[in-house]
A and B are shown apart, each in its own frame.
Chain A
Amino acid sequence: MSGPLLILDGVAKRFGEVEALTRVDLEINPGQVIGLVGGNGAGKTTLLRLMAGVMEPSNGTILFGDNPVSTMRKKLGVVPESTGLYSRLTAWENIRYHSRMYGIPDDVAWGRVSHFAEMLEITEALSRHTKGFSRGMRQKTALLRALAHGPDILLLDEPTAGLDVTSARTVRSLVGQLRDEGGTVIYSTHHLAEAEQVCDRIIIVHNGTIRADGSPKELLEVTEKESLEDAYVFLTSDKARTRTEDDVKEGKMAKWWRRFLTGSTPGTKYSDRMISVQEVSEDE
Chain B
Amino acid sequence: MSNSWRFVTTIAKKEIIEFVRDWRTLLALVVIPLLIFPALFIALPLLLQSEAEELDALELEIVWQGSISEELQVAFSDSRLNISFEEMPTDITNLSDIGSDDERLRNKETTAIFRLQQDDTEWKFSVLYLSTSEASNEARNRIITDVNDWERSVVNGTLVDAGLDPEKTLNPVNWDGDSSDADAATKGEQAGLVLSMFIPMVIAIWTASSAIQPSIDMTAGERERGTLEALLCLPCSRMQLLAGKWLAVAGITSAGVALQIGGLLFAITFLASASIIGIPTLSAASVLLLLGAIIIFTIMVVAFELALAMKAHSVKEAGSLLGPAILFIIFPALFTQVINLDGVESWWFAIPLVNILLAMRELLLDRVIAEHVFVWLLSSIIYAGLAAWFAARQFKREDLVASIS
Contact = CB atoms under 8 A, between A and B. Distances in A.
A103 B401 contact: no
Contacts of A74: 235
Contacts of A234: none
A112 interface: no
Contact of B10 (A52, A101, A142): A101
B3 interface: yes
Given A15-B402, A78-B230, A82-B404, A88 B21 contact: yes
A49 interface: yes
A84 interface: yes
A29 interface: no
Contacts of B399: 15, 248-249
A98 B234 contact: yes
Interface stretch (B67-75, B166-174, B221-229, B386-394): B221-229
A270 interface: no
Nearest to A76: B233
A76 B227 CA distance: 17
A84 B227 contact: yes
A133 interface: no
Nearest to A249: B403
Contacts of A81: 226
A103 B21 CA distance: 25
A24 interface: no
A88 B18 contact: yes
B7 to A, nearest CB: 6
Contact of B402 (A53, A55, A97): A55
A40 B357 CA distance: 53
A49 B233 CA distance: 9
A49 B235 contact: no
Interface string B206-246: 00000000000000000001111111111110000000000
A56 B401 CA distance: 11
Contact of B234 (A85, A88, A101, A245): A101
Interface string A158-197: 0000000000000000000000000000000000000000
Nearest to B15: A86
Interface residues of B, number: 30
A80 interface: yes
B233 A142 contact: no
A248 B400 CA distance: 11
A55 B6 CA distance: 24
A100 interface: yes
A88 B227 CA distance: 12
B17 interface: yes
A52 B233 contact: yes
A175 B6 CA distance: 31
Given A103-B3, A249-B403, A97 B233 contact: no
A72 to B, nearest CB: 8
Interface string A232-249: 000000000000010011
Interface string A79-104: 11111111111000100011011110
Given A80-B229, A84-B228, A84-B231, A49 B401 contact: yes
Mostly helix, strand, loop or mixed at chain B's interface? helix
A100 B236 CA distance: 11
Contacts of B313: 249
Contacts, number: 84
> In the complex, which range does the number of interface residues on chain A fall in?
20 to 34
Nearest to A78: B233
Most chain A beta-carbon contacts within 10 A, residue among B230, B231, B402, B403: B230
A23 interface: no
Given A97-B14, A103-B6, A85 B227 contact: yes
A80 B18 CA distance: 21
Contact of A86 (B18, B229, B234, B401): B18
A79 B233 CA distance: 9
B398 interface: yes
A22 to B, nearest CB: 17
A83 B404 CA distance: 12
Nearest to A58: B398
A211 B226 CA distance: 30
Given A15-B402, A89-B14, A89-B17, A101 B226 contact: no
Contacts of B231: 84
B20 to A, nearest CB: 9
Nearest to B313: A249
Contact of B235 (A83, A89, A102): A102
Contact of A248 (B227, B228, B403): B403
A145 B229 CA distance: 14
Contacts of B230: 78-80, 82-85, 98, 142, 145
Interface in A59-86: 73-74, 76, 78-86
A49 B404 CA distance: 11
A54 B404 CA distance: 12
B229 A84 contact: yes
A253 B326 CA distance: 22
Given A82-B226, A86-B227, A248-B403, A101 B398 contact: no
**Residue from A53, A55, A248 having most chain B Cβ neighbours under 10 A:** A55
B227 A54 contact: no
Interface in B259-273: none
B51 interface: no
B342 to A, nearest CB: 45
B371 interface: no
Interface string B366-405: 0000000000000000000000000000000011011111
A15 B404 CA distance: 13
10 contacts: A54-B401, A78-B233, A80-B230, A82-B225, A85-B227, A100-B6, A103-B3, A142-B230, A245-B403, A248-B399
Interface of B: 3, 6-7, 10-11, 14, 17-18, 21-22, 225-236, 313, 398-399, 401-405
Interface of A: 15, 49, 52-56, 73-74, 76, 78-89, 93, 97-98, 100-103, 142, 145, 245, 248-249
Q: Which 6 A-B pairs have the closest CB atoms?
A: A82-B226, A84-B230, A78-B233, A74-B235, A73-B235, A80-B229
Given A54-B229, A80-B226, 8 more contacts: A15-B399, A54-B401, A74-B235, A76-B233, A85-B227, A89-B17, A101-B11, A102-B234
